[in-house]
Structures are given as structure tokens and as C-alpha cells.
Chain A
Amino acid sequence: MREITLSQAVNEAIAEEMRRDPTVFLMGEDVAEAGTPFKVLSGLVEEFGTERVLDTPISEPGFVGMAVGAAMTGARPIVDLMFGDFIYLVMDQLCNQAAKQHYMSGGKLTVPMVLRTNMGATRRSAAQHSQSLQAIVAHIPGLKVAMPSSAYEAKGLMKTAIRDNNPVVIFEDKLMYQDKAPVPEEEYLIPFGEAHVKREGSDITLIGTSSMVQVAEKAAEMLAAEGISAEVIDPRTIVPLDEATLLASVKKTSRAIVIDEGHQSYGATAEIASRLNEKAFYHLDAPVLRMGAMDVPVPFSPALEDITVPTAEQVVENARKLCAGEMIHAA
């Protein structure tokens, strides 16, 4: 199978959906000729013109609000938010407007829009261009959250997001844009709420999101060398969350670590770990561990930044301890 980059996969998904559905359009800062700072959207304006690929002023609340209005009246906008950190700028439009229209109107209004943005530290971009804010979005009822872990997921999830009748926020890891993966030429979609078991194992379950899937896979490889069999699962969407697949795995392995690049406290890892504790308690041989980013603003210095994000080595160390029964603390 051919291999393409995550960036190309996103581009292909959007182009295919724009060809398929004339109501789909794209708007955001420098999305047209510039194709975004990451060049993910290069070439789209040449094919679809400036009427469907709109460069906006640097007015995030303004253009996200306009996407909500366009979506409520019959279009399917894809909004490009240049950095995930800018979600804080659009909270009212996203959380008070987009997320609630369907509910507040008793199901009469719908907001079929996609907000594509990014996440991920270690790019030396410091505290306001490095955050992973998926948990904040996932907290709001009415918003779906997709987190592609490779080019394959990026394409399939984007196409599903564009066809979904709800506001969907897609977080792409900005460090993975050039990572290649096998992606079929023929069309496919990845349904929301279907986790992918990336690797089967019997001793411990490693649940990773986005970039942390790679970390989990690398850790599983290292653990195998020590005789520990790790199962790796990528939820792919955290809203909706495929609880059944996660629970089935944990009931089998009896141990789990949840890894996500958002801050650990009150984060996505906490939510998933809590559900496993509530629903698989009697199957567990050890507490479910959370591994998120450190609870500090992302520092600039490489010496500091690198230690804020979970690594495969740390996952191995924790998994080893869990399997050895070393992390069961007496009260």
C-alpha cells in the first residue's frame, strides 16, 4: 500500500469531501495561498477557488462564530484554527453557541461543522503554542473530539467529521504532519466511537491518544523484550468514547495505563481511568495509572520541555511496576 504523510492525508480527506459535497467550505487564517503555516492545505485553493477556501482576518471568535451560523443554515464549514492554544479565544462560540444549539432548540437546529486544530509539545514553541487542550473541549456536552494517531486515522476521521451533523473538533499532533503511514487509495471512513486495538497483549493495557499511541507502541515493544505482553489501544475519538473495547481489554489484562498529552490533572487520562475503575474494578489487579503532561505551562527550554511529556521509557517503568505489584499502595 502507498504511504503518505499525515498532512497529505488531511488534505486528501478535505479535497475528497469538498468534491463530494458543494456545501463544504474551508475558512481560517492563511488557509488559501499559504495553505497554513504547516502547509497542510496547500493546493486546495487552486482546485476550489477563494470562494470555498476563505482566508480570514486574525479574528478567531469572529470566524468560528460565522462557521456556526453558516452550519446552522445549510453549509458544512471546516474551520482551521492555526494553533490549538487559540481555543481559549473561541470558547464562547464553540462551547456556548456551537455545542448547545441543537439541544437548546429541542433538536431543530444543527451545527454540522468541523474545527480542525492541533496539539503537541516539544516543538520549542513555548507555553502559548504547545498545549494539548482536548480535555477542555471533551468536557462540553454537544462537542465531539477526534484525535488521529496516524495518517490513516487522520484521513478516515476527517471524512467522518465532515459528514457528521454535530460540531467536531479534530486535534492533529503538529509534530506528526510529516509522519508517513499506509493509506489506501480507495475511499474509507473511520466511524466515531470505535477504538482500534493496535497490538494485542495479555498483561497490561496501554491506552494512548494521538501522539501517545506511538509512545505506547514503542513501550509495548520494549516490554515484550522483558517478557511483558502489552495490549495497545487507540480510542481515536474521546467523545464519543468506545468504553466497551477499553473495558474488554482491561478485564482481560487486569492492568492499564492511560496516556495523553494534555495536562494530567482533570484531564482525558483521568476520565478514562475513572471509567475503568468504576466499571472494571473487580477485574483489576492494580490501580489504573494516568500519564499526562506535567501540570506546568509548557516551558521553552528544550532541557525543560522534553521532561513535561510522557515518554516510552516512563511508560515501561510504570508498566513494569504495575505488573510486579509494586504500585498497590496500602491505605
Chain B
Amino acid sequence: MTKTNTEDYLRMYTQMVRIRTFEDNANQLYLSAKMPGLTHMYSGEEAVAVGICEALTDDDRITSTHRGHGHCVAKGAEFKEMFCELLGKAEGYCRGKGGSMHIADQSHGNLGANAIVGGSMGIATGSALRAKLQGSDDVTVCFFGDGATAQGLMYEVMNMAALWRLPVIYACENNGYSEYTKTEEIAAGSITARAEAFGIESHQVDGQDVLAVNELTQKLVERARKGEGPFFLELMTYRYHGHHVGDINREYYRSKDEEKDWKENRDPIIRFRAWLVEQGIATEDEIEAINAAIEKDATEAVAYAEAAPYPDVSEVDMHVFAA
């Protein structure tokens, strides 16, 4: 069931631009020392999160990573609560207790970012186990990077997911770098072959092509709902920033020419925008209007978050245990 209507295409475009705009603003907050801690930018990988999350409903779950703002936006989160969380404010999705690396929005099925690389693979697979045991038809997508394929947990849970045919989709965002190291230096052999060894159907897809990602994911989600899972996706993508916002001088592990090539020739937003215009789905003016509205939304949300109050100190020992 390919997405064919204009509304869906424009929403996908909008969501990708929302992610890019969110990240540009988050980066500015960091650079102007308004944001505590650090953060990991998703810019460049937008087609992955959007292509996948647009194939899901609010009942479907995702688990996210330290590079998780994109997943959070794509799964339906609001800017205001997200910026509040990044700034440690009380109105943040996690009342300021999680921050960038732990942002969660369970109202849209986002079980949370995870600051342990590969740390949420058990959680995602367990969510799928729950769906199977309770006869629910929701699907869980586990986002992780190429770096996480080096974690043993992945092999343990893929084994169980395959044995028990769980409705989980492992989405490996291969952005070419495991922190400050090229993926080829940390991963022997093929990434998809790892999943195939468990008999898991695997696909490699261009992660800069939102329609390709979405089309494939829709098919796999439908099949996973019918008990044909699990599935494994390797999404070939690129992160525009460093490993984290402070990783500025990175020529020692990747060249500026390489970054320029991806940004100019393979950018998921530029590509999709050109396609929308070419297909007559939107005019340049309409696209500009969408971009401007998102920019305004982000500016207002940042201003709101900056002015918003911090949590009261009495909240520090709240939520250690659930009632």
C-alpha cells in the first residue's frame, strides 16, 4: 500500500523539515551556552525516522537512541515539550529529568531515547513480545546505529525475536561512523548478514530517500502485524554534524569533501523537495510557506522553553519509585 496522496507526501516533507529545524535550533542553543550538557544531532538522517514513523500508528512503539530528536519528532512529539526537556524545564516531556539523551513521549508510543549504545534493543524486543503474548497487533521499531551492531545484546534479542516470530523491526541507521571511527573499522563482514544468520529477512535501503524507506517499511509493518516478523533494515544514511555537538574538528576521521558531497548531492530534504515540485505536488512558494511556518513554530517554542520555569527542587526525589 504505497502512499499516494498529496497530504501524506506533504506531511513527510513537513516532518523532515521539522526535524532539521529542531536540530538547527538545538545546535544554536548549545553553541550559545543556553543548553546544559550535550546533544547528538540527527540532521542528515531525517528520511530514516520520517520514512519509518510515517508507516506507524500511535499504538506502534519505537525505541530511540542518544541521537534521538529525529525519532521523537517523527513519532509525533511537539516542539514546546521537546525544547523544554532539552533545557531541563518542568514542562519537558520528562519534567526535565531525562534531557536530550532520554527524551520519551509515550503518548505517541516513543519508549524513549537511550544513552547506552544498543541499550534499548531488549526493551524494543520485549515490547514486541508483550504484543504477541497479549494478541495485540502493534509493531515495535528498534532504532539503533551501526555502532550498536557491536553490542552483544543485539544478537541475544534477535535470536529470541526470530525464534518467537516477534513483531519487531530492527532499524539500523548506518551513518558510516561509530562515534569517531569509520564503520568499516568496527564492523567485520556485512551488517545485514548478522540478522540473516538468524533467518531474519533483511533489507538494505537508501536512507536518504524518504519514499523508498516509507514504502518498504509499510510493507514490513503490515507483514509484522500478521506475525511474519521480525525484520531487519540497514538504512544507508549520513550524519551532518559530529558525534555530538562538541565534535567540531573532525578532519582526522572524515573529510570536509565527504561531508560536502552528502549535503549537496544526497540531502533527503533537498531531494524530496525537488521531487514534490517536479511531480506538481507543491509549488516552490508552497514549500517556502511550509518552511517558514516551521521556523516560526520552532522560534516560538524555543522562546517559550527559555522562559519556562525549572522544576521545583522538591521534584528531585520524586519518581524514583512508582506508586
A residues with a Cβ closer than 8 A to B are: 23, 25, 51-52, 56-57, 59, 61-75, 77, 92-93, 96-97, 101-110, 112, 141-142, 144, 165-166
Contacts and interface: CB of A to CB of B under 8 A. Distances in A.
3 A-B pairs closest in CB distance: A65-B122, A69-B126, A62-B156
A304 to B, nearest CB: 34
B112 A166 contact: no
B168 to A, nearest CB: 9
A57 B123 contact: no
Nearest to B124: A69
Contacts of A144: 321
Given A62-B160, A66-B157, A106 B98 contact: yes
A105 B102 contact: yes
Contacts of B207: none
B142 to A, nearest CB: 9
Contacts of B160: 56-57, 59, 62-63, 66
6 contacts: A61-B156, A65-B121, A69-B128, A69-B140, A75-B129, A106-B98
Contacts of A23: 134
Contacts of A62: 122, 125, 153, 156-157, 159-160
A302 to B, nearest CB: 36
A212 to B, nearest CB: 26
B92 interface: yes
B78 to A, nearest CB: 15
Interface in B111-145: 111-112, 114, 116, 119-131, 133-134, 140
Interface string B232-259: 0000000000000000000000000000
Given A56-B160, A66-B160, A108-B106, A61 B122 contact: yes
A69 B98 contact: no
Which of B97, B130, B140, B320 has the most chain A CB atoms inside 10 A of its CB? B130
Contacts of A70: 126-127, 129-130, 133
B105 to A, nearest CB: 8
A73 B104 contact: no
Contacts of B123: 65-66, 68-69, 72, 97
B318 interface: yes
A24 to B, nearest CB: 10
Contact of A141 (B96, B112, B125, B320): B320
Contacts of B128: 69
B313 interface: no
Nearest to A68: B123
B98 A72 contact: no
Interface of B: 61, 63, 92-98, 102, 104, 106, 111-112, 114, 116, 119-131, 133-134, 140, 152-153, 156-157, 159-160, 163, 318-323
A93 B122 contact: yes
A139 to B, nearest CB: 13
Contact of A74 (B63, B134, B319, B323): B134
Nearest to B136: A74
A64 B119 CA distance: 12
Given A61-B156, A69-B129, A73-B61, A106 B94 contact: yes
A141 B111 CA distance: 20
B111 A65 contact: no
B94 A105 contact: yes
A109 B106 CA distance: 7
A165 B130 contact: no
Given A52-B133, A62-B156, A105 B116 contact: no
A69 B112 contact: no
B129 A66 contact: yes
A165 B320 CA distance: 12
Nearest to A111: B322
A25 to B, nearest CB: 6
A97 B110 CA distance: 15
A169 to B, nearest CB: 14
A166 B323 CA distance: 8
Contact of A69 (B97, B106, B125): B125
A105 B98 contact: yes
B133 A75 contact: yes
A93 B122 CA distance: 8
A102 B106 CA distance: 12
B194 to A, nearest CB: 15
Which of B93, B127, B131, B323 has the most chain A CB atoms inside 10 A of its CB? B127
B134 A57 contact: no
Contact of A73 (B98, B116, B127): B127
A241 to B, nearest CB: 13
A65 B157 contact: yes
A108 B318 CA distance: 12
A84 to B, nearest CB: 20
B102 A104 contact: yes
B126 A65 contact: yes
A63 B129 CA distance: 10
A71 B126 contact: yes
A3 to B, nearest CB: 34
Contact of A106 (B93, B119, B140, B321): B93
Given A61-B122, A66-B125, A92-B153, 16 more contacts: A25-B133, A57-B159, A62-B122, A62-B157, A66-B160, A68-B126, A73-B130, A74-B130, A93-B153, A105-B98, A106-B97, A108-B104, A109-B104, A109-B106, A110-B322, A144-B321
B102 A73 contact: no
Which of A77, A93, A107 has the most chain B CB atoms inside 10 A of its CB? A107
